[in-house]
Structure 1
Amino acid sequence: MTAEQGVRAAALTILIAILLFVLQAARVEARPPDSFAELAERLSPAVVNITTSTLVAGNEGPQPLVPEGSPLEDLFRDFLDRDRPEQRQRRGSALGSGFVISPDGYIVTNNHVIEAADEILIEFFDGGGELPAEIVGTDPRTDIALLKVEPAQPLPYVKFGDSDVARVGDWVLAIGNPLGQGFSVSAGIISARNRSLQGAYDDFIQTDAAINQGNSGGPLFNLAGEVIGVNTAILSPNGGSIGIGFSMSSAVVKRVVEQLKEFGETRRGWLGVSIQNVTDDVAEALELDDTSGALVTDVPDGPALDAGIKAGDVILSFGGQTVADTRELVRMVGDSEVGTTVRVVIFRDGATQTLKVTLGRREEAEGLLSSGDLPEEDEVPQADEVLGLTLMGIDAALREELGLAEDVRGVAVIEVDENSEAFEKGLRRGDVIAEIGQQPVQTPADVVERFEAARDAGRKSVLLLVRRDGQPRFVALTPSG
C-alpha cells in the first residue's frame, strides 16, 4: 500500500467513524427521555395557578317542586316571591392555569378562565405567594388572555418556541392545575397538528398528554423547555382526560400576545370577502387545474371591493404566498398588518390577474357593513322549472312567505325534486339563485336561458351563486339532463 493509499484509508476510516457516531446520536435522541424531572423542576416556577371570583345572583329559599309549565308553577312562584327580600349576590369561583412570559409579570392564560371575573388571583409555584392580576387584553377568537401582576422582584419566566417545526410524535410536557389539585405535570406526544375546532383562526396541537379541567391556560412545552402551545380544550364524553387534548399553537398565540401587550386588543387585517373552498365540480365549472385557492362568494363594501375583486373570483395568492384553501387565506389576512398594501392574484374568466389591496381592520369592520341603497324590484313573472328546480321571481308576498331579507335579489327556489342533482348538491326550498356563470339573474327565464346556453356550448357544469339565510355559496350543476 502506498503512502497516498494509506492516507485515503485512514480518512475513510475516520469518516465512517463519524457517520456511525452521528447515527448513534440520532438513535439516542430518538429514544424517550429517561426522566422529565429536570425539565419539570426548571419550568414549574414559571407556571401559575389562577383563581377567579365573580359576583352572581343567588336564589334564596326553597323552590317549588312542580313540573315545568304546570298551571301550579305560577301560583307557587307568586307565593314564594311574596314579601321575599331582594336576591342576595354570592361569589362564585373558578380555577385555571397560566404561565409567566416576562420577569416583570406578564402572564398568558385562556380567555375563558378569566372571562367576566371581578377578581383574579395568581398563585405561584411551591409556596411562592399570591398576587392580584389585572387584565391587559383578551381575544375571544383564539381564547387567549394577557394578564399583569406587579411583583416585588423579577419572576421566573418561559419563552415561546416555534410550533411550526413541531412534528407528530414529538414529546411534550403539560404543566398546570388540573381539577384544582395544584401544580401537576403530565407528558405525552403530539398526536396531530393544525386541528381546527370551530374558530376561523384555530391552529390546535392535539396531544395525548393528560389535560383536565383546570389545565386550561397552562403551557405545553417541547423538550427544549419552550412553550409551543396553550392548553385550551379536551374532547371527552365524561369531562375527564381520555388522551385527546388541544393546545392553541404558539404560532397563533405569540402574535395575539404581542398585540394585546402593545394595544390592549387585537388588530387583524381585513380583506372584506366571503369565501368558500373550491370543490372538484366548482374547479371544473371555472376551468381551474386543481382545487387550490379560495372562491369569493360575496364582496361587501370594503378593501376587496375597492381593489376590484368580484364574487366568483378565485384567490390563488396573497402577499406572495400560495393560498391552499379558505382557512389558510383567513390566517394570512388576519396575520397581516392593518393598512398594508398586498398583492392578490386572482383567477377570473380563464386567466389570472394581480390586484393591489390595502387591508382594513377586521375588528372595525365587523357589524358595520350595511346593504346601502337597493334597486327597485323588477316585475315578477310566473314560476318555471329547470333541472328539478321550481323557480319564481321574488315579489313582496314571496319575500314574506320565505322570510327573505329586503336586500336579497335573484330567483327563489320554490321546490326541489328529491331525485335531482340540485337536491343532491344541497339546494332546498327558500334558497335564492343570485348569479349563474358569474352573471346576475332576476327571473326564472334568465336561469333557463343560462343553462341552455351552457348546454349548447358543451359545458359540463355551470356555477350558481346561491344564498341561504343571507350566506352565499357556490354550487356547480350539470346543465343537461
Structure 2
Amino acid sequence: MKKITTLLLVSIFGGAITLGSYKLFIEKPNYAVVTEDAGHGYFNTSYSPTSAKGSGINEVDFTIAAQNTVNSVVHVKNVTMSSGPTTIMEFLYGSGGSQRPQVGTGSGVIISPDGYIVTNNHVIANANQLQVTLNNNKTYTAELVGTDPNSDIALLKIEAKDKLPYLAFGDSNNAKIGEWVLAVGNPFNLTSTVTAGIVSAKARDLGGMTNQSFIQTDAAVNPGNSGGALVNTNGDLIGINTAITSQTGSYVGYSFAVPSNIAKKVVEDIMEYGNVQKGILGINTVRSSTPYAIENGINEVDGVYITSVEEDSGAFDAKLQEGDILKKVDDIVVHKFPDLVGYISTKRPGDEIKVTIDRAGKMMEVPVILKERQTLVVPVMGLEVKNLNKEDQKKFKTKNGVKIVGVPESFRGYGLEGKVLLSVDNKEINDISDAKNLFGNISKYGKTSITMINEKGERERIIFQ
C-alpha cells in the first residue's frame, strides 16, 4: 500500500515539473494590450467570408443566364446589291454590268414576343433584303422599322405564328465595373455563342466614332457579334454589342456595347414617333486632351467644364454659365463628358433633370428642362444654323427660315453670318431639319442658290458653283 502511494506521489510530482517547464521555457506568451488612446483603432483583419469552393469564377453560375439568352439572340443576314463589271470586257468598255448580291451578317436580340428585334444600324445599312434566323434554325424575312445612326441602333420586325422567346431591357445604370457579363451573338456565322467577361469600364468614349457612351467589357466579341446581347448573370439585357478595338478586325481584349437604357429609349422613340426624340442640354465643352484644355487646366477638372451655353437651350434658360463645372445630373455622378452624354441620351425634349454644378467653389443644384436641338451644321457647305426664336422672327419680319450663326472659313467672305436663310434652290426652309435635308441633297459639283434676308428686310440671293 505504501509503495502504491509513493508511486502516485512521484507521478503527480513529475507531471507538475513537466507542465511547469513547458510553461516557463517553451510556450510563448500572448498578450492583449489595451490602451486609453482616444484615436481610431486599426485592425489588420478581414471579415470577408471564405467559400469552400474558392473565390472568383467558380462561384458564378452562368448557366441560367445563358439558357435564357441564347434563344432570344438571332442571326441577321443583310443582302445588298452592288453593280459593276463582271468581265474584263465590261470593265474596259463599260458595256453591260450586272448587279451582284453581297451578304453581310450580324446578330440581333428579340425584345418582344411578337417579333421586334433590336440590332446595330451598321449591320443592316443599305440592305435590299433582311433575313433573320432563330436559334432553332427557322428563317424569316425581316422588315426595317427604323434606325438611329448616331447610337448605331436599328429596329426590325418579323412575323411569326407563335410567340417568340425574348429578353427584357435591364437598367444599364446599375451595371458595376468588375461585374460578370455574357456576350451572346453569332460570330463567324455560328449559331448563338456565349462568351464571358467582366464590365471593364462604363461611359467609354470611342473618340471620333460617334458622340456616344459605351459599356466596355472583356467578353470575347468577334465579327458577327454586332447587334448581339450583353447580359448580366441574372439574364438582364444591359447592352447591345457594337464594336471592338482591333487593328486586325478580330477580338484582342476589349469590346463595346450600347447601354441598354440608350437602346431602349431609341427603340421606344422609333415605335412611338417614327424617329428619335433627342433632348439637348445645350452646353459646349472641350476634350480634356486638347492643347487648350491642358493650357487652361481643364484637363484636370473632375466633371464637365462648360465653355459656352447655346442660346435658347435648356441650359440657357436655367442660366448655366461659362466656367461652371457640371458635377452631377440627377443621381448620376459626372466625372467626364461621356458620363453626361450617356445619361442625357436616355431623355427626351420636355424632360426635367436636376443638374449639380460647381460655380466658383459653390455647389448649386439647378433644374433644367431639356429641349430639342436648336442648332446644327448643314452638310456640304458646313454652315451652322439655328431655329428662329420669337425675337428673331420679329427682328427679321419672317416666321420661316433659319438664322446663320456660324460660317466656315471658306465662305466667310460672303457676308452670311447673322442673316436668315430662307431657301435653297428655291425650296423653302422652315427649320433646321429642312435645312439639313435640303443641303444634303445638293451636289458638290453643280450650282446652288441660297436666298437670305437681313435685318433691314432686304433679300439677297447668292449662287455658288
- The one-letter code matched in structure 2 to 1:247 is A
Shift of 1:33: 5.5
Q: Map 1:77-476 to 2 at 5 A.
A: 80-81=93-94, 84-85=95-96, 87-127=97-137, 129-198=138-207, 199-207=210-218, 209-276=219-286, 282=296, 291-297=302-308, 299-309=310-320, 311-315=322-326, 318=329, 323-342=334-353, 357-362=368-373, 365-367=375-377, 370=385
SS in 1 for 2:212: coil
Residues 441-473 of structure 1: CA deviation (Å, up to 9, x unaligned): xxxxxxxxxxxxxxxxxxxxxxxxxxxxxxxxx
Moved more, 115-124 or 324-333: 324-333
Shift of 1:314: 4.5
Shift of 1:103: 1.0
Aligned residue in 2 for 1:392 = none
Task: Label 1:322 to 1:63 Cα distance change in 2 as closer, same or farther (>3 A).
Answer: same
Task: Label 1:406 to 1:334 Cα distance change in 2 as closer, same or farther (>3 A).
Answer: farther
Structure 2 residue runs without a partner (length 5+):
1-45, 379-383, 393-407, 419-465
Task: Label 1:252 to 1:205 Cα distance change in 2 as closer, same or farther (>3 A).
Answer: farther
Task: Label 1:38 to 1:314 Cα distance change in 2 as closer, same or farther (>3 A).
Answer: closer
- The one-letter code matched in structure 2 to 1:151 is A
SS in 2 for 1:241: coil
- The one-letter code matched in structure 2 to 1:118 is N
- The one-letter code matched in structure 2 to 1:210 is A
Note if contact 1:275-1:298 (Cα within 8 Å) is conserved in structure 2.
no
- The reply to whether residue 45 of structure 1 matches residue 43 of structure 2 is no
Aligned residue in 2 for 1:382 = none
Note if contact 1:205-1:249 (Cα within 8 Å) is conserved in structure 2.
no
Shift of 1:305: 4.0
Note if contact 1:296-1:315 (Cα within 8 Å) is conserved in structure 2.
no
Distance in 2 (CA, whole Å) between partners of 1:43 and 1:156 is 9
Task: Label 1:407 to 1:236 Cα distance change in 2 as closer, same or farther (>3 A).
Answer: same
- The one-letter code matched in structure 1 to 2:84 is G
Distance in 2 (CA, whole Å) between partners of 1:319 and 1:344 is 6
Aligned residues: 342
Shift of 1:155: 0.6
SS in 2 for 1:32: helix
Shift of 1:58: 2.4
Match of 1:55 among 63, 67, 81: 81
Note if contact 1:338-1:359 (Cα within 8 Å) is conserved in structure 2.
yes
Moved more, 258-267 or 151-160: 258-267
- The one-letter code matched in structure 2 to 1:40 is A
Which structure has the larger Rg over C-alpha atoms?
2
Note if contact 1:307-1:355 (Cα within 8 Å) is conserved in structure 2.
yes
Shift of 1:98: 1.0
- The one-letter code matched in structure 1 to 2:99 is Q
Distance in 1 (CA, whole Å) between partners of 2:77 and 2:198 is 29
Task: Label 1:30 to 1:275 Cα distance change in 2 as closer, same or farther (>3 A).
Answer: same
Distance in 2 (CA, whole Å) between partners of 1:276 and 1:61 is 52
Note if contact 2:199-2:215 (Cα within 8 Å) is conserved in structure 1.
no
Note if contact 1:139-1:256 (Cα within 8 Å) is conserved in structure 2.
yes
Shift of 1:63: 7.0
RMSD of the alignment, in Å? Answer: 3.9
Shift of 1:272: 2.7
Shift of 1:133: 1.4
The normalised TM-score by structure 2 is 0.62
The normalised TM-score by structure 1 is 0.60
Shift of 1:23: 2.7
SS in 1 for 2:345: helix
Aligned residue in 1 for 2:24 = none
Shift of 1:49: 0.6
Distance in 1 (CA, whole Å) between partners of 2:113 and 2:353 is 37
Note if contact 2:181-2:199 (Cα within 8 Å) is conserved in structure 1.
yes
Distance in 2 (CA, whole Å) between partners of 1:165 and 1:344 is 20
- The one-letter code matched in structure 2 to 1:212 is N
Task: Label 1:27 to 1:258 Cα distance change in 2 as closer, same or farther (>3 A).
Answer: farther
Moved more, 291-300 or 230-239: 291-300
Shift of 1:215: 1.0
Shift of 1:293: 3.4
Shift of 1:152: 0.4
Aligned residue in 1 for 2:43 = none
SS in 2 for 1:126: coil
Shift of 1:113: 0.6
Shift of 1:302: 4.0
Task: Label 1:320 to 1:404 Cα distance change in 2 as closer, same or farther (>3 A).
Answer: farther
SS in 1 for 2:136: helix
Distance in 2 (CA, whole Å) between partners of 1:117 and 1:227 is 26
Note if contact 1:205-1:229 (Cα within 8 Å) is conserved in structure 2.
no
Distance in 2 (CA, whole Å) between partners of 1:281 and 1:324 is 20
Distance in 2 (CA, whole Å) between partners of 1:157 and 1:23 is 37
- The one-letter code matched in structure 2 to 1:32 is N
Note if contact 1:294-1:329 (Cα within 8 Å) is conserved in structure 2.
no
Shift of 1:220: 1.8
Distance in 2 (CA, whole Å) between partners of 1:97 and 1:345 is 39
